[in-house]
Amino acid sequence: MKSAIDAILKGTGVTLNGPNPFDIQVVNDQLYARILTQGTLGFGEAYMDGWWECDAIDEMIAKLLRADVARHLRPSIGLVASTLKARLWNTQNKQGALKVGRTHYDIGNNLYRAMLDTRLTYTCGYWKTAQTLDEAQEDKLDLVCKKIGLQPGQHVLDIGCGWGSFAKFAAEKYGARVTGITISQEQLALGKELCAGLPVELRFQDYRDVTGQFDHIVSLGMFEHVGYKNYATYFAHVKRLLKPGGLFLLHTIGGIRSVRHTDPWIEKYIFPNSMLPSVQQIAAAAERQKFVMEDWHNFSADYDKTLMAWHANVEEQWETLKDQYDERFRRMWNYYILSCAGSFRARQNQLWQIVFSPNGVPEGYNSVR
């Protein structure tokens, strides 16, 4: 079993029990069989169970992804099950969409307050000139406002508003009115507190149930939960809700190829019923609504920096969290954050901000960077 794993790792730069911080230190020899039979799900669960250690999980994952080690592994039962479920059912229907709210976003505001910036922005920061996480998130929110040409008094719909970071920023800095929707009760409760006294309305609502007309629409880090079977529906609702002269900004993580499911470990422990869209999938859904794609901005490397800042914050604040979350949760969360950082570092995951207009900007769109 060990020889099979050694062969898979050959050429990646990662070794078993090696001297480098990105090498895998084996604690339980049953790890080899677990990887070969359960793939990425078994590898992630084995870390949660303490079967292996690594001082630099982020760099280890980056090296494995650059070498495409997955091609050497047989499809696991978990991967086959995820694929079949995605094909047979619309797991992101109105009822299924609520699962990620309960599983991930409702696990405790204390964790997110410790991990995120002061505005509680759970999406990629913009590090072009920023030196700190707070600066990167402020710059990202400002970038969004500039990209949609936000003006005082305009009404913006924020699909997947989180704790209201964009809503609060747009209201305070740009004098906008914002309606935000979320499927997390914990986010909603705290978000209402944070946005109190501002022209901001936050709701517990599915995007398919929103009515009205908005000057602009933004969606920051929510599209990953929509699912390929709902992309056409999503864009149709955006088109219906957006005023003719408005702009729609979609901020999403994306993949370099079209898929219909996510990694089995991510599906089970972090983001159930999620998947990353591809360029092709987004373009096809937008094309059906005859949207004009005005701008496509990729700043994926900034997510690596953002995730590493989040990881540092959690580690620094763990003493205040350990009574609420056990050690297995800590290992799970570390693996989630660091493996995601590695995937962006290897450029396997992308971060896109895409600006669409329903009819084309008459004088042309001026890209903002």
Q: Name the residues annotated as catalytic.
A: 340
Other Cβ atoms closer than 10 A to 272: 18
151 contacts: CB under 8 Å, gap ≥ 6: 174, 176
Q: Which two tokens stand for residue 336?
A: 């989630």
DSSP label of 359:
S
Amino acid (one-letter) located at 256: I
Q: What share of the chain is helix, strand, coil (3-state, %, to 5)?
A: 50, 15, 35
Residue appearing with tokens 């964009």: 166
Q: Which two tokens stand for residue 18?
A: 């090696």
How far apart are the C-alpha atoms of 54 and 62, rounded to whole Å?
Answer: 13
Contact 185, 101 (CB under 8 A): yes
323 contacts: CB under 8 Å, gap ≥ 6: none
How far apart are the C-alpha atoms of 286 and 283, rounded to whole Å?
Answer: 5
